[in-house]
Amino acid sequence: MSTNLLHYRTWQGKFRRPLWAVWPICRVALGMLFRRKLFWFLYATGLLLFLMFFFGTYLLDWAETMLPTQPIRVGKVSAEPERIMRVLRQGLRVLNGSQETFMYFFIYQGTMVVVVLTLAGATLVGNDFTEHSLVFYLAKPISRWHYVAGKCLAASVVVHMLTTLPAIILFIQHGMEDFDYFLNPDYFVESNTGRGPASWPLLWGILQYGIFLSVVLSLILVATASWVRRTMPMIMLWLSLFIFLRLLAGILVDGLQYGVRWRLLDLWNDLCIVGSRFLGFEQYTMGPGGPDRQPAFWEASLVLAGVCALCLMFLSRLTRGVEVVR
């Protein structure tokens, strides 16, 4: 019997390698997530911190123009406007576009990243196990690692939307005020307005930090969502990973005065320690307890590498046990 009588149609497109299947898996996962109004509400909420950083510089410039030229007198105390602005700029140097600006942005934005990923985990990954959609993927001529890579890529897009993309917009904003910010890596040293690099080293550090966050968090998300699969257990598990362990590490190190290596239990603090190196910090100084109460860079890197390895081993075992044909 000919294939025409069976109503089969020959494939007219171009055959590609199985690696290209990563993108359709990612696209379908993002399509399901972007159709949720709750996601866009959380995403808009997550951009509030970005707006504070974005408009903070303009508010500071506006305050500088509104200050009178004459000394300000309050009772018997008078102060020069220049001194007031100098104190304000020193106190708000987090808004000057230096490495500290983006370090604080990544630190505080982490709260919304964790919240959004927690609620998106069931949509991106968990439903494939509860509704048995994973069998459909693995029945295709692709390996289980193509499926894992596609889901991790979808989670990475969400992380970049919340961190890397707003950080790049902040970088462009500061560069539009002074083009030397784009061109001179020693901009802050020469102008005595901050520390660390500017220009392409700072931009490269922002991209590295964003990629690093997306890789680690996407692996943790896919592994945990494949395990618990439902939204409420997912919330409890991520609260334990990023909130309870942080409190436990603070009690052990700051309260009971245990060794600083106990702070390695705090996964988000480990992410910040490694990410600070990408932004040009010699030592992470913005964590709890100060730089003297923080573990070393290599120790945090080793812990995160171990967590990622455990996630990969769990995903390998989980997807290998799926029955495609019963």
CA atoms within 13 A on the CB side of 146: 17
Domain that holds residue 104: 18-56+95-320
* Residue 273 forms part of a structural domain: yes
* Residue 5 forms part of a structural domain: no
Q: What is the pLDDT of residue 301?
A: 93
Q: What is the pLDDT of residue 234?
A: 85
Question: What Å distances lie between residue 171 and 117, 167, 198, CA to CA?
Answer: 25, 6, 9
Q: What is the pLDDT of residue 77?
A: 44
Q: What is the pLDDT of residue 87?
A: 58
* Residue 211 forms part of a structural domain: yes
* Residue 80 forms part of a structural domain: no
* Residue 230 forms part of a structural domain: yes
Q: What is the pLDDT of residue 143?
A: 78
Q: Judge residue 286's burial from the number of C-beta atoms within 10 Å of its C-beta, 0-12 exposed, 13-18 middle, 19 or more buried.
A: middle
* Residue 13 forms part of a structural domain: no
Q: What is the pLDDT of residue 119?
A: 85
Tokens of 266: 């705090």
Q: Provide the residue-wise pLDDT of the chain in tens; the chain has 326 residues.
A: 555 555 666 667 777 776 777 888 889 889 988 988 888 998 999 888 888 888 877 776 676 666 555 454 544 444 555 665 565 555 556 778 888 889 989 998 988 898 888 888 888 887 777 777 777 777 777 778 888 889 999 999 999 999 999 999 999 988 888 888 888 888 888 877 777 888 899 999 999 999 999 999 999 999 998 888 888 888 888 888 888 888 998 899 888 888 888 999 999 999 999 999 999 888 888 877 777 788 889 999 999 999 999 999 998 888 776 655 55
Q: Is the dihedral of CA 269, 270, 275, 281 positive or negative?
A: positive
Nearest to 176 by CA among 97, 279, 93: 97
Q: What is the pLDDT of residue 64?
A: 60
* Residue 50 forms part of a structural domain: yes
Q: What is the pLDDT of residue 168?
A: 94
| Domains in the chain, number | 1
For 14-22, the CB contacts below 8 A with 24+ separation are 18/141, 18/142, 18/143, 18/146, 19/146, 21/140, 21/142, 21/146, 21/150, 22/146, 22/149, 22/150, 22/153
Q: What is the pLDDT of residue 221?
A: 92
* Residue 325 forms part of a structural domain: no
Bridge partners of 78, per DSSP, are 73
